């Protein structure tokens, strides 16, 4: 199985709930290593750029409003099958549909405030990692 990297965001709702450590524990227990991390409060322009693929969707403004509502914790996760593994840990986009024991089932309130983001494919992972950590050292170990 290939070693991959994926971009993870702990969104403002989960940061406000003080569960960064609990979410990090789940990454570690699943064998995903945190190889870069920072806390940032996104500007509207940054949030719009990050979610540009959703620009035409009816929920775009709500999504951007939410993502700029407080600081987020952004990390690069590395490990075997990291992209799919992180998506499994996250659970479905709508927490009401997320499997028991997933991050969204346990920590998310709604489809708008759904606790975490994770890249969905190798191409988006590469682009999203470059968006948040351009030319920055990533500590593979």
Q: Under the criterion CB under 6 A, does residue 20 sit at the interface with ligand DGI? A: no
Long-range contacts of 117-122 (CB under 8 A, 24+ apart): 117/7, 117/8, 117/9, 117/11, 118/6, 118/7, 118/8, 118/9, 118/83, 118/86, 118/87, 118/90, 119/6, 119/7, 119/8, 119/83, 119/86, 120/83, 120/87, 121/83, 122/4, 122/83
Using the contact rule CB under 6 A, the part of the chain among 33-41, 55-63, 73-81, 133-141 near ligand DGI is 55-63
Catalytic hit among 79, 117, 125, 128: 117
Active-site residue, 117 included: yes
Considering only 4, 10, 114, 128, the residue that binds ligand DGI (CB under 6 A) is 114
Q: Under the criterion CB under 6 A, does residue 63 sit at the interface with ligand DGI? A: yes
Q: Under the criterion CB under 6 A, does residue 106 sit at the interface with ligand DGI? A: no
- Tell me what percent of the chain is helix, strand and coil, each rounded to the nearest 5: 45, 20, 35
Q: Quick one: CA dihedral 52, 54, 57, 61, positive or negative? A: negative
Q: Which is nearer to ligand DGI, 24 or 66 (CB)?
A: 66
Considering only 84, 120, 126, 127, the residue that binds ligand DGI (CB under 6 A) is 120
Please state the residue numbers annotated as binding site: 11, 59, 87, 93, 104, 114
- The contact set with ligand DGI (CB under 6 A) reads 54, 59, 62-63, 93, 111-112, 114, 117, 120
Residue positions annotated with a catalytic role: 117
């Amino acid at each position: 199985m290939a070693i991959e990297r994926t971009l993870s965001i702990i969104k403002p709702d989960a940061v406000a709930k003080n569960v960064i450590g609990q979410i990090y524990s789940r990454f570690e227990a699943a064998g995903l290593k945190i190889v870069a991390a920072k806390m940032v409060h996104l500007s509207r322009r940054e949030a719009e750029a990050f979610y540009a693929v959703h620009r035409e969707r009816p929920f775009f403004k709500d999504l951007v409003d939410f993502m700029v509502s407080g600081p987020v914790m952004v990390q690069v996760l590395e490990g075997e099958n990291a992209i799919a593994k992180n998506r499994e840990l996250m659970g479905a986009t709508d927490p009401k549909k997320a499997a028991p024991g997933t991050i969204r089932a346990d920590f998310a309130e709604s489809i708008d405030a759904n606790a975490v983001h994770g890249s969905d494919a190798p191409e988006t992972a590469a682009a999203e990692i470059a968006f948040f950590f351009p030319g920055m050292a990533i500590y593979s170990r």
